[in-house]
Amino acid sequence: MNLDLSTLFGRGNAPLVGVDISTSSVRLVELAQAGKEGLRLERYASEPLPRGAVIDGNIENLDQVVEALRRVWKKSGTRAKLVALGMPPASVITKKITLPAGMSEDQLEVQVESEASQYIPFALDEVSLDFDVIGPSPASEDDVEVLLAASRREKVEDRVAIAEASGLKAAVMDIESYAARAALDRVLAQVPGASAGQIVALFQIGAQVTHISVLLDGVAIYEREQPFGGNTLTQDIVRAFGLSYDEAEAKKKSGDLPENYAADVLEPFLESAAMEVTRAIQFFYTSTPYTRVDQLYLAGGCALIPGLLDIVASRTKINSAVISPFKGMALGAGVREQALRSEAPAYLVACGLALRRFG
């Protein structure tokens, strides 16, 4: 249906690597089967993007992103040429619809296109459209629930073009928030004593945006984006110490900053971050029927900023942890465990995309 990829929801073909193109970097993950049930992290790598190459999920400088993807592919050592890519949630319209059960694939396609025209604010010939049959409708045994997803074709084609220009082939296109949830679900399945009815909040704190997902028994009941991220801390460092943006970013990562950094710059940022998280939780309570969160997870490149987890747990009074999407996986020969520990939270989306290799 207007989509040149296998499908927004389709099955990946092995070997397949997950590639996450964010505002600040390109990240790659390759997973492999390890035994009957287990997985192995074969390799992972990241490559920073120049400022302005990707803005609000839009590819602004194709050549810079292609160059970063080529470098990350080479750095990782993978030989896989098929990639699963993610689309930013804001650029994809999703809608759950109910259709009569028993229709053929072709009949479903026609019906979905007809339904989609009601929800999509642009012409269907400008759109990449796909659907996935979720299962029987709870309301009627004669119906099925279908999830449709639509994105402006040019946004999909930009990502396909990046893969092709890098010598790769886009085999699967997913929604970044869905990929993150797939990685989270795998981790939650390993938590002992996790009971039914548990409400989990996931905060992915990126460079510019924090994406919030709240899940009940693995199903998203609330999603929101807030314009807050690690770039705020970098800008604070620029102002406080008169550095260039690139210098500030490098020193933020290495910790090579003056003694007064913690008190004058880091602590006010942590206060601000904690306020953003508590506000988001309050907004969830006031805009939904729910009045509790049982577990809060931090992910994204900023999740391991020193002190962030402690202040979030303290202010929200919610059991909080930083998530590693690779928890419980065996590690490939080239993966250094110590380095992985400090980088893993940034790979939630890339890991979820890589999981598409296994259907």
Q: Read off the pLDDT band of 14 (50, 70, 90).
A: low
User: Vertex 192, ends 188 and 198: CA angle to 5°?
Assistant: 55
pLDDT for the residue numbered 110: 87
Mean model confidence pLDDT for the chain:
90
Residue-wise pLDDT tens digits, 156-187: 999 999 999 999 999 999 999 999 999 999 99
Tokens coding 104: 């053929």
Separation CA 321–CA 190 (nearest Å)? 15
Residue-wise pLDDT tens digits, 92-138: 888 888 888 888 888 888 888 888 888 788 788 888 888 888 888 88
Separation CA 170–CA 180 (nearest Å)? 19
Provide mean pLDDT across the span 18-43: 93
Separation CA 156–CA 2 (nearest Å)? 11
Looking at the structure, give the CATH architecture of the domain made up of residues 1-90+154-190+327-358. 2-Layer Sandwich (3.30)
100 close to 112: Cβ distance less than 8 angstroms: no
Tell me: domain 192-324, CATH 3.30.420.40, correct? yes
Residue 6 has pLDDT above 70, yes or no: no
Domain layout of the chain by residue ranges? 1-90+154-190+327-358, 91-153, 192-324
**Domain at 91-153, CATH class:** alpha beta
Give the list of residues 6+ apart from residue 11 with CB closer than 8 angstroms, or none.
172, 356, 359
Which carries the bigger pLDDT value, residue 213 or residue 191? 213
pLDDT for the residue numbered 84: 96
Residue-wise pLDDT tens digits, 278-320: 999 999 999 999 999 999 999 998 998 999 999 999 999 999 9
Q: Is the pTM of this model over 0.85?
A: yes
| 91-153 matches 1-90+154-190+327-358 in CATH topology | no
